[in-house]
Structure formats: C-alpha cells, structure tokens
Amino acid sequence: MNEVFEGADGASKADGTSRADGSDGAGPSGGAAGAGDVREVEHLLRTEAPHVLGALTRRFGRFDIAEDAVQEALLAAHAAWTAEGVPTQPRGWLIRVGYRRMVDLLRSEQARQRRERDVSLAELASRTSEPVPATDDSLTLLLLCCHPELAPASQVALTLRAVGGLTTAEIAHAHGTSEATMGTRISRAKQRLARAGARFTPPTGADRESRMAAVMRVLYLVFNEGYTATAGPALTRLDLTSEAIRLARMLHAAAPEDAEASGLLALMLLIESRRAARTGADGGLVPLDEQDRTRWNRDLIREGTALIDGVWGRRAAGPYQLQAAIAALHAAAPSSERTDWPQIAMLYLWWERLAPSAPVRLSRVVAVAQAFGPVRGLALLDDLNRRHGLDRHTLTRQRERAVRAHLTHLSGDAARAATLYREAADLTDNEVERRYLLGKADGG
C-alpha cells in the first residue's frame, strides 16, 4: 500500500426435503418482536457464518457440502430474521437449519454415489439435539480456505464466502465478474480441496506458518482492492475494506501471539483512519499531503498504533509490521512537512530488502523524494527502472507514470509532467483516480 502518493494506492495489488426456512421447529423463538434491522442481521450473519461452518465441518468432515448448507442457512436466516426478529440463540438456529440442509444434500449424494455412512451420520445428527459447540473454528477455516493447492484468486473467493459470509453475488460484484463465473470458481476450489484430501484440522509446523502467510496475503489483497478499487466510479469499496478489517480482527483474536497478524490489523486500521479525508466534497481525490488531518479517525489511529507498538521489537519485523510502522509515522505527524520522511525511507528500504517487489521499490522512490528532494527521487527511479523495469511491470506501470509526473512537476518541467499525468490516467480504470490525474495534467 502506498503511504505517500494518494491516488495510486495498491502497492501489492496484483485475486430429504426438510424446509430450510426453519419453520419446522428451528425458526425464531423468543427473539425481539418485529422485524430485525437489516444491517444488524447481515452483520450478525457474517459474524456467525464461520462458527456455523466450523460446527458442521467438524461434525461431518465434509467442508464442501457443509459450505453449501451454511450458505442456504444464511439465506433462510436473512429472510426469517428481518421479517420476524432475531432468535435468542442465533447460532443454534443456524446450526439446526444447516444440519437439516446437510441431510438433504447428503441424501442427494447418496442417490448418486451411495454414501451410506455419510447419510447415517447425517440422519443421526438430525435426530440429535446438538449443543452449540464452544470451539472457535475461525482460524482453522481461514487456514483451510488458503490451502496451498488453491490459486490466490480462489483463496480470496473461498475466504470471502466461507469465512466472510458473503454471497456468491456479492463476491462476483467485488471481482467485476458474473455470479455464474464466481460460483464455478468457488465450486472448483472446494472440489480441489476435496481431491487434495484437505482436512479440517489445524496445520502444524512449517505448514501452519506458510498457511498463515497465505491468509494474511488474502486479507491484504481484499483490503487493498477496497482501499483503491481497480475500476469503477468510486475511489474505495467500503464493503471490502470493512470485511478485510473484520476478518483481520478475527485472525488477530485467534492468533494473538502472531506479530505479523497484529501488524496486518494495525496497518489496516491506520490506513482506514484516513478514509474520510481521501476525497473532497465533490468526490475528487485528495492526496495525502493535502488531506485535512482533523478528519482522520483518531480512535482507529490509537488502536492501530497500540497494536504495532505492542509487537514492535518482539522479534525481527515482517512486511506487515514494517508497513504498519510506516503508517504509524504518517498518523503521528501533524502535517506532511513535519513527517519523518528519512525514517519512512529507511523503513521502505528495510521492507524492500526483506521482500523485494516492484511496488515496494516504487514506494521507496516517493519516500526518498520527500526526504531528499525530487531530483534524488528521479535519479533513484531511473536506476530502479534500469535494473528492475518498474515502468514495465504489471503492478507498477501505471503508478510509475504518476510518480514520475509528480516528481517531474516538482523539478520544474510542467509540460513533461502533464504528458506523464495523461499517460498515467490512460492506464487506470478507476474513474476518481483518472479525474485526479487529468486535473493535474491540466494544471490542477
């Protein structure tokens, strides 16, 4: 994530027949009278989704079928609870409805594959009054959804659906694709997990470490896409940033000893704290050095800063801790001019040496230019282009033009800067960013 040149953020953007409505005894009982608030119901469902999925998967060992059953239970709950109110035990309601749907799905599979054992287990479960499990399976689910057999795009989609509780339609909208296409991707991901023999058990040792890294990468990608949308009329996607933060909180709560998980949550909170100041009254983009810092969310800043302070120095810092430290320096500065740019440039260099990538190198260029002047920044950019081709790399090609335009303008060559701003505008599909860059090209 670029902390310096707002408008080109996204440094790492690189994707039976029992009734399901619960009316056969699983419906709302004892809940609040009247319809439930839609937003509150949706938030509750997303919170409960991983717990319900964990309970069903733990009970039957069939993640693929359990995930379908939970989705149907969530849809049934949304319809019932918004109309009749939330039941006194919403998780138990969802689990009971999910169990019943599991019976239907497993019976259907028996007809095709004669899986008598699964069906007998399902029927036993449907006759049994199951207590609501106390086990929190959130982390296990996250790790399963980020199984190494899955491509990154499938990891993201499966995480948003299985753990985030988003519908296939919502995930498709976030990815700019059709619901049918996204449904196929999710279905294939679950089939691939089944073929790989993925088990609903927490991984250990090196496998757990690599799986945790994959989870954090997925959440980072979701947040990054929400913070500066790849395409569309809005600069940000609040639905994606909010969901990424919610899942990062879940990850941090499940693994409080993981310093990188703390760093990731701190990073998201500190970046999100600036959201209200990133656009003006007309919806136009406001770069970091021009933002009204009184509009920054101080509660998020305090929480994010406390998180990174709590883990900094515990052991060698990872990429998310380094980014959170950079964001914390921005949050602590009363103005752009009083920001500790040399320290930020040093942290970017540290991050580049730890995890070299084109986006990180380009972010260091901007920090160096802020700390030591645009001429030095341009010299570093030229050197990095020669050695690493930032101006040709998929992840930095557009932003390289924008950064070069900015530094060229500061160096006094307005005509050349205007040309570069227009080139950068042509390379983005985000309409807010394009308007900003064209405005700069016209002398704005």
The answer, as to whether pTM is greater than 0.85, is no
- For the chain, the distance separating the N- and C-terminal CA atoms, rounded to the nearest angstrom, is 25
Backbone angles phi, psi at 239, to 5 degrees: -60, -40
Q: What is the pLDDT along the chain (444 residues), one digit of tens a residue?
A: 544 444 333 344 433 333 333 333 344 444 443 556 887 888 888 888 888 888 888 788 788 888 888 888 888 988 999 888 899 899 999 988 988 888 788 777 655 555 445 554 555 454 444 444 545 577 788 888 888 889 888 888 888 888 877 788 878 876 778 889 998 999 999 889 888 888 777 777 778 888 888 899 889 988 988 888 777 788 888 888 988 998 899 899 988 999 999 999 999 999 999 999 999 998 899 999 999 999 999 999 999 999 999 999 888 899 999 999 999 999 999 999 999 999 999 999 999 999 999 999 999 999 999 999 999 999 999 999 999 999 999 889 999 999 999 999 999 999 999 999 999 999 998 999 999 999 999 987
397-410 helix and 358-372 helix, angle to the nearest 10 degrees:
10
Report the C-alpha gap between 49 and 291 in whole angstroms. Answer: 38
Position 30 scores a pLDDT of: 42
Provide DSSP, 306-372.
HHHHHHTTSSS--HHHHHHHHHHHHHH-SSSTTS-HHHHHHHHHHHHHHS--HHHHHHHHHHHHHHH
Position 404 scores a pLDDT of: 98
Position 169 scores a pLDDT of: 82
Burial of 127 from C-beta contacts in 10 A (0-12 / 13-18 / 19+): exposed
151 and 186 in contact (C-beta within 8 Å)?
no
Nearest partner of 78 among 165, 171, 18, 169, judged by Cα? 165
Nearest partner of 123 among 137, 145, 140, 105, judged by Cα? 105
- How long a stretch of residues is the chain? 444
Position 308 scores a pLDDT of: 97
340 and 325 in contact (C-beta within 8 Å)?
no
Name the DSSP letter for residue 4: S
196 and 187 in contact (C-beta within 8 Å)?
no
Report the C-alpha gap between 192 and 198 in whole angstroms. Answer: 9
368 and 345 in contact (C-beta within 8 Å)?
yes
Report CA-CA distances (Å) from 142 to 26, 92, 130, 213, 335: 28, 22, 24, 11, 39
